[in-house]
């Protein structure tokens, strides 16, 4: 039987962040997860507050200044438990964590980058890799959006036309290129495949030649977010030197290369801090006795394996992450400890009439009710397990899609859970 200081369940942003910080605090840490989480579906940026009110068409420029208004409207949001003064601490801790490796995240809580999205909309985000932050639309100027015929779901003309149709200070043009070998002629190439190609010197050189033929006189040149997987910093430096312009990346549809880079750095950081990582093992259940979690059980080839720890962090996500389960009868429950979930019992009220609703989807509010220590609580706010901490999208009211707060919730609740555990 294994014994740890803390076991983290879930390998998404919240789980990995808490695991790394605990391991660096000299805890004996195990992270166990069925899969690698949702980072490959994410932009790689950290959204703290993008729109306030949520249905506003105007992006938030200063998220910290707008937090009071947001919290006044959203009494059920997880930021209420983190507290405004701790949000900045959480973001600074995240920056310190990821930038000690090969990443270069830029930003601060009183400023949102306004980045172009993969359809030419504006993506307001607080912290972003330097490669994406270089595309900040407030910098203005003439920009060239470069794409590749072989890459699926990335259309430079769509992006540039939509940017030009808005009241922005940029003048955008588009160029769609034939990717050099070994990508040439392939159909529906994924961002990951293209990123691996960019890691090679010869491929980059051929791309540079093609871009130079496509046009000159642009102060910035935007590419899909595929500029290297393992050699990202070298790729960026090489392209900017050869092109003589600022190079930036634009988020693509999944799989996300910036998300993959972030995942790999967090995983490496955890292992280097002597944390243990098990991916591909399903947590069957956990034992709740006298207000504490005493153990969890995981699947193995032969029989369930019991794992014990002093503390547990639940970072399995909401319904879309599999941390919360439902059935056809309208029952909603947390999948491991069978914790009660704040949810609407009438299935007909789970979804708004329109898929893209200004009011959002009611189902996005479903989650586990917590106290200020992030322990799960019952309807009378009595803690159900004092050594169990809920982080990220598992918390009731997280609703990560509206207002763009999901990444901020993941990072800041992870840091608060670490603080509760380590004192």
- Residues 331, 390 within the same domain: yes
- Residues 385, 321 within the same domain: yes
DSSP string, 235-249: HHHHHHHHHTSEEEE
Do the domain assignments include residue 14? yes
- Residues 126, 223 within the same domain: yes
Do the domain assignments include residue 108? no
If one counts the domains in the chain, the total is 2
- Residues 273, 374 within the same domain: yes
Residue 269: strand, helix, or coil: helix
Integer Cα distance of 170 and 143 in angstroms: 7
pLDDT of residue 106: 97
Do the domain assignments include residue 53? no
Q: Are strands 113-116 and 141-148 parallel, antiparallel or unpaired?
A: unpaired
**Alpha helix segments (H runs only) across 180-279:** 191-198, 201-214, 232-243, 257-272
Do the domain assignments include residue 94? no
Integer Cα distance of 359 and 351 in angstroms: 10
Question: Using an 8 Å Cβ cutoff, are 256 and 43 in contact?
Answer: yes
Do the domain assignments include residue 216? yes
Element housing 286 (H / E): strand 283-289
pLDDT of residue 168: 93
Integer Cα distance of 10 and 313 in angstroms: 9
- Residues 14, 140 within the same domain: no
- Residues 246, 343 within the same domain: no
- Residues 285, 370 within the same domain: yes
Do the domain assignments include residue 56? no
Do the domain assignments include residue 90? no
pLDDT of residue 1: 58
Integer Cα distance of 10 and 13 in angstroms: 9
Do the domain assignments include residue 380? yes
Residues of the chain with pLDDT under 70: 1-2
- Residues 38, 137 within the same domain: no
Please enumerate in sequence order all residues whose Cβ is within 8 A of that of 111, keeping only pairs 6 or more positions apart, or say none.
61, 62, 63, 126
- Residues 329, 377 within the same domain: yes
Q: What is the pTM of this model?
A: 0.95
DSSP state of 282: -
- Residues 27, 128 within the same domain: no
245 vs 9, 43, 101, 203, 248, CA distance in Å? 44, 24, 26, 19, 10
CATH of the domain at 331: 3.50.50.60
Question: Using an 8 Å Cβ cutoff, are 63 and 412 in contact?
Answer: no
Please give the structure tokens belonging to residue 240. 């900017």
pLDDT of residue 290: 94
Nearest to 126 by CA among 52, 49, 54: 49
Final residue of a domain: which of 250, 278, 299?
250
Q: Which domain holds residue 239?
A: 118-250
Question: Using an 8 Å Cβ cutoff, are 182 and 207 in contact?
Answer: no
Integer Cα distance of 82 and 79 in angstroms: 5
Final residue of a domain: which of 218, 250, 282?
250
**Cα 212 to the center of its chain, rounded Å:** 34
- Residues 266, 169 within the same domain: no
3-state SS, one letter per residue, for 365-399? HCEECECCCCCEECCCCCECCCCEEECHHHECCCC
DSSP state of 192: H
Nearest to 119 by CA among 80, 163, 85: 163
Final residue of a domain: which of 219, 250, 281?
250
CATH of the domain at 129: 3.40.50.1860
R_g of the chain, CA atoms, integer Å: 22
- Residues 284, 368 within the same domain: yes
For 18-61, how does the pLDDT look when each residue is reduced to its tens digit (9 = 90+)?
A: 999 999 999 999 999 999 888 999 999 999 999 999 889 899 99
Integer Cα distance of 410 and 174 in angstroms: 35
Please enumerate in sequence order all residues whose Cβ is within 8 A of that of 78, keeping only pairs 6 or more positions apart, or say none.
370, 395, 397, 398, 409, 413
């Amino acid at each position: 039987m294994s014994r740890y200081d803390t076991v983290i369940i879930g390998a998404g942003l919240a789980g990995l962040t808490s695991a790394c910080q605990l391991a660096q605090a000299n805890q004996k840490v195990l992270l166990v997860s069925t899969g690698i989480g949702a980072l490959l579906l994410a932009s790689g940026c950290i959204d703290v507050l993008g729109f306030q009110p949520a249905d506003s068409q105007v992006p938030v420029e200063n998220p910290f200044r707008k937090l009071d208004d947001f919290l006044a409207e959203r009494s059920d949001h997880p930021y209420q438990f983190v507290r405004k003064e701790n949000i900045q601490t959480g973001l600074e801790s995240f920056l310190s964590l990821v930038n000690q490796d090969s990443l270069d995240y830029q930003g601060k809580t009183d400023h949102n980058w306004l980045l172009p999205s993969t359809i030419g909309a504006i993506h307001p985000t607080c912290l972003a890799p330097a490669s994406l932050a270089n595309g900040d639309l407030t910098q203005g100027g003439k920009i060239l959006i470069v794409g590749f015929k072989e890459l699926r779901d990335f259309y430079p003309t769509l992006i540039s036309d939509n940017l030009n149709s808005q009241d922005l200070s940029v003048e955008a043009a588009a160029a769609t290129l034939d990717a050099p070998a070994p990508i040439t002629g392939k159909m529906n190439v994924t961002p990951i495949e293209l990123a691996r190609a960019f890691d090679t010197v010869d491929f980059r050189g051929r791309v540079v030649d093609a871009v130079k033929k496509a046009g000159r006189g642009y102060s910035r040149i935007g590419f899909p977010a595929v500029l290297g997987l393992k050699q990202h910093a070298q790729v960026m430096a090489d392209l900017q030197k050869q092109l003589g312009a600022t190079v930036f990346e634009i988020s693509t549809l999944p799989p996300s290369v910036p998300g993959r880079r972030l995942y790999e750095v967090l995983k490496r950081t955890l292992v280097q801090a002597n944390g243990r990582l098990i991916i591909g093992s399903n947590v069957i259940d956990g034992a709740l006795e006298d207000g504490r979690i005493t153990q969890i059980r995981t699947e193995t080839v032969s029989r369930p394996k019991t794992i014990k720890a002093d503390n547990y962090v639940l970072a399995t996500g909401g319904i879309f992450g599999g941390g919360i389960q439902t059935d056809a009868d309208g029952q909603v429950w947390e999948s491991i400890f069978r914790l009660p979930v704040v949810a609407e019992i009438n299935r007909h009220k789970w979804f708004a009439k329109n898929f893209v609703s200004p009011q959002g989807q009611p189902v996005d509010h479903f989650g586990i009710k917590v106290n200020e220590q992030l322990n799960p609580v019952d309807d009378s706010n009595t803690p159900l397990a004092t050594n169990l901490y809920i982080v990220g999208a598992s918390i009731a009211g997280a609703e990560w899609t509206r207002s763009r707060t999901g990444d901020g919730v993941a990072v800041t609740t992870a840091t608060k859970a670490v603080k509760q555990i380590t004192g």
